[in-house]
Amino acid sequence: MELFSLDSFFGASGTANGEIVFNTGMTGYQEVITDPSYYGQILTFTYPEIGNTGINFEDSESNTNVKGIIVRNFSSNNSNWRSKKNLNQWLVEKNIIGLYGIDTRALVKILRSSGSMNGVITSLEKTDESCIKIIHDTPKMEGLNLSKVVSTKQKYLWESYTQTNFDLRKRYSESSKKLKIVAIDFGIKKSILNRLVSHGCEVLVLPSQSSLEDVLSNKPDGIFFSNGPGDPSSVSEGIDLAKSLIEYGEIPMFGICLGHQIFGLALGGSTFKLPFGHRGLNHPCGDNNKIEITSQNHGFAIDPNSLSKEIVKITHYNLNDNTVAGLEVNNKPIFSVQYHPEAGPGPHDSDYLFNKFVSLMLERC
């Protein structure tokens, strides 16, 4: 174990323990830190300079955040026209511990060769033995249902939307019927909700443990299964709900990230833990006809050999390791992707998937 002096810490003081993971994105650290899919983890940034653009009031994805961050360098001198406070001040308010000054490239090489592992960072005076005990007492990610921790406890209507170059809401407001979506919150991101509303949808967000009756009583035109943290195979209530909805009928359904994995499990598939996950803004996905550069944040994947070709078609693969990145149910308006098409943060190659979801609903209105 390598020890660092107390002046290597910034942000909040204290101790943080959890799974150590890394993100390769060069931008969007505020969105990444507040992505609920990182709940329970300590995040290493491979990009060496973090904090340069400060923090604003618009880009946080949720009120949930990582336990701690590890960076090469951090800047307390922020410069951006949208900035309202510096990173250090914000981390203190969020109770996020930051560690800086270490060779993050060396750390990432360890995680890539040995896999993501539990760790601890602390600004307090602790012995090696006490830190090792904290690590041993930290539960492994396998088997953890963290979505029920970060999910909303009460349903709510989301009415915000994203400003775009062309007003999608105006285009879809000409439809004779307002499209109503029920979104199941396993750790949903604000930017996903914004994109759905921007496409002319009314979005009612329900807790992750909602029942089939809870969903159908709202008479949705479409159903969305969100991203979220933890082991997908442990989200039994979400898997059971997906099974029931798939069997129920022809309501269009769209899943992202954890929602995608839940669909795979509901369709008879299985998932497995990736050695070090996919977390970044530059992951190529697609098939033989089209390649998309995508934003990703997940530590588990669907086993392609566990899916029945008679029931499911694999539409996208992660072209770095050939894992399943997208699927659709044969003869049903149900599809999902492993990546984040809302691009919060990231490239916009996959935004068309929201159009696809809306088109499936309009066909049935």
Task: Check if 342 is active-site.
Answer: yes
Task: Check if the beta carbon of residue 271 is closer than 8 Å to that of residue 261.
Answer: yes
Task: Check if 328 is active-site.
Answer: no
Task: Check if the beta carbon of residue 62 is closer than 8 Å to that of residue 34.
Answer: yes
Task: Check if the beta carbon of residue 142 is closer than 8 Å to that of residue 230.
Answer: no
Task: Check if 285 is active-site.
Answer: no
One-letter amino acid of 189: K
Task: Say if residue 345 is preceded by a cis peptide, omega within 30 of 0.
Answer: yes
Per-residue HEC secondary structure of the chain comes to: CCCCCHHHEEECCCEEEEEEEEECCCCCHHHHHCCHHHCCEEEEECCCEECCCCECCCCCCCCCCCCEEEECEECCCCCCCCCCECHHHHHHHHCCEEEECCCHHHHHHHHHHHCCEEEEEECCCCCHHHHHHHHHHCCCCCCCCCHHHHCCCCCEEECCCCCCCCCHHHHHHCCCCCEEEEEEECCCCHHHHHHHHHCCEEEEEEECCCCHHHHHCCCCCEEEECCCCCCHHHCHHHHHHHHHHHHHCCCCEEEECHHHHHHHHHCCCCEEEEEEEEEEEEEEEECCCCEEEEEEEEEEEECHHHCCCCCEEEEEEECCCCCEEEEEECCCCEEEECCCCCCCCCCCCCCHHHHHHHHHHHHCC
> Of 279, 286, 290, 281, nearest to 337 (Cα)?
286
Catalytic residue chosen out of the listed positions 131, 201, 257, 285:
257
**Separation of alpha carbons 238 and 342, rounded Å:** 22
**Separation of alpha carbons 37 and 227, rounded Å:** 7
Catalytic residue IDs: 257, 340, 342
